[in-house]
Amino acid sequence: MQCNETYMLTKSNIHRYYPLFLLLGIFLLLMTVTGCKQHGGPPPQGTPEVAVVTVYPERVVITTELPGRTSAFRVAEIRPQVNGLILKRAFKEGSDVNEEDLLYQIDPAPYQAAYNQAKAAVAMIEAQLPALRGREKRFKELVESHAVGQQDYDDALAALRQLEAHLKASKAAMESAEINLSYTPIKAPISGRIGRSNITEGALVTAYQPIALATIQQLDPIYVDVPQSTAELLRLQNRLKNGSLNHDGANQNKVKIILEDGIPYPLEGTLQFQDVTVDPTTGSVILRVVFPNPEGILLPGMFVRAVIIEGVNERAILIPQQGISRTPKGDPFTLIVDADNKVQQRMLTLDRAIGNKWLVSSGLNPGDRVIVEGIQKVRPGAPVKVIPFNAGRKENPVAGKTVQSSATIN
């Protein structure tokens, strides 16, 4: 009777423990599934797919990008050539002036007086000359007939020559006074843009003083001075010598610049000369480029980036940057697909980055198929399936176009 009561009690209360039994069942089911996965192997996989690009030689115009600074084509510091008081300033600061325009006026009164005095002295001497010349001529005739003594003639001749010399000195003094008078109006020696004035009306100036009154700068055309390291210069000369680079004909001396805000300057410049003196502090030489500047966009002292043509590589090999990997030591390498559709590793020598590609100096041959997608899925010697690269995107060709770089990568 006691057993029956226990059975009835358990049967009547089993619904209270139903949620616990349900959780226990789910737990056992999950353990069973997990155990099957651990004891079972992964499903078989097919041959991995990789995207490749085929390497072909291309004609590429190689350029290098170097920092540069603009400087005025001509600079004239305005200084007085005579002492005096500034009566007026005849220009507006920051304006464009033309050659021979009046800039300052020095008080001309004392110089005008000096000129008038020197001119009067010349006139006085010139008035005395006819009498002395006539006397010398008469004494010359009389001394031949012994009417006067030789000494008298010599005195007359000496007086004439002395007065003629005095006349020359007076004329020189008059010319000097005239020059000083001409310096009282200070005029622009060149055409260009004038800066701020360092003096005002009423200021006293001295001849050739160390502080300039103002400065005129010719901005059209304008110079861009670009430092180039001697190491880069020697490397370029060796490449041109061994034939890996060729001159680009008439375009070799053409230069472009990029402004500080990253916008290219619309006009091209011309490489004028390369300095022959190496700066010992930087180990570089200066390349001077002349740029037209009709709109006045370029101002002296601006920093720019100059794109200079090094030459033309007729058989350049370019591959996308994502196709390059590096060893733990940093040496670049790439993976290619051989004729048997198996992966092979190639160690590379890189020259420089060109856009989104690398310029390869050695390590690849024309016709090699370089893996650019799916590198993580393959290892050297593994078979692969080749699919086209960039099937859904438009690939921009580089051949025949000018490319830029700013560093050499070994």
Q: What is the pLDDT of residue 139?
A: 75
Tell me: do 374 and 307 sit in the same domain. Answer: yes
| CATH code for the domain of 313 | 2.40.30.170
Tell me: do 260 and 301 sit in the same domain. Answer: yes
Q: Helix (H, G, I), strand (E, B), or coil: what is residue 397?
A: coil
Q: pLDDT tens, 46-59?
A: 788 888 888 888 88
Q: Please count the structural domains in the chain.
A: 3
Instruction: Please write down the HEC assignment for all residues of 274-305.
Output: ECCCCECCCCEEEEEEEECCCCCCCCCCCEEE
Which comes out higher in pLDDT, residue 135 or 79? 79
Residue 19 placed within a domain:
no
Going by pLDDT thresholds of 50, 70 and 90, the confidence category of residue 77 is very high
Residue 32 placed within a domain:
no
Report which of 74, 102, 98 is spatially closest to residue 217, judged by C-alpha positions.
Answer: 74
Residue 35 placed within a domain:
no
| CATH code for the domain of 175 | 1.10.287
Q: Parallel, antiparallel, or unpaired: how do β-strands 402-403 and 58-78 relate?
A: parallel
Tell me: do 229 and 363 sit in the same domain. Answer: yes
Tell me: do 120 and 229 sit in the same domain. Answer: no
Sign (positive/negative) of CA torsion 199, 204, 208, 210?
Answer: negative
Residue 38 placed within a domain:
no
At 8, give phi and psi (nearest 5°).
Answer: -65, -35
| CATH code for the domain of 88 | 2.40.50.100
Tell me: do 255 and 272 sit in the same domain. Answer: yes
Tell me: do 172 and 250 sit in the same domain. Answer: no
Q: What is the pLDDT of residue 1?
A: 42
Q: pLDDT tens, 258-274?
A: 999 889 999 999 888 88
Tell me: do 264 and 320 sit in the same domain. Answer: yes
Tell me: do 134 and 162 sit in the same domain. Answer: yes
**Chosen domain end from 131, 165, 182:** 182
User: For residue 33, what are the β-bridge partners?
Assistant: none
Tell me: do 307 and 382 sit in the same domain. Answer: yes
Q: pLDDT tens, 235-256?
A: 777 777 766 666 666 677 888 9
Give the mean pLDDT of the chain. Answer: 82
Label residue 215 left, alpha or beta by phi (over 0 means left) and psi (-120 to 50 means alpha).
beta
The domain of 195 spans 80-106+184-211
Residue 282 placed within a domain:
yes
Q: What is the Cα–Cα distance from 187 to 340, expressed in whole angstroms?
A: 83
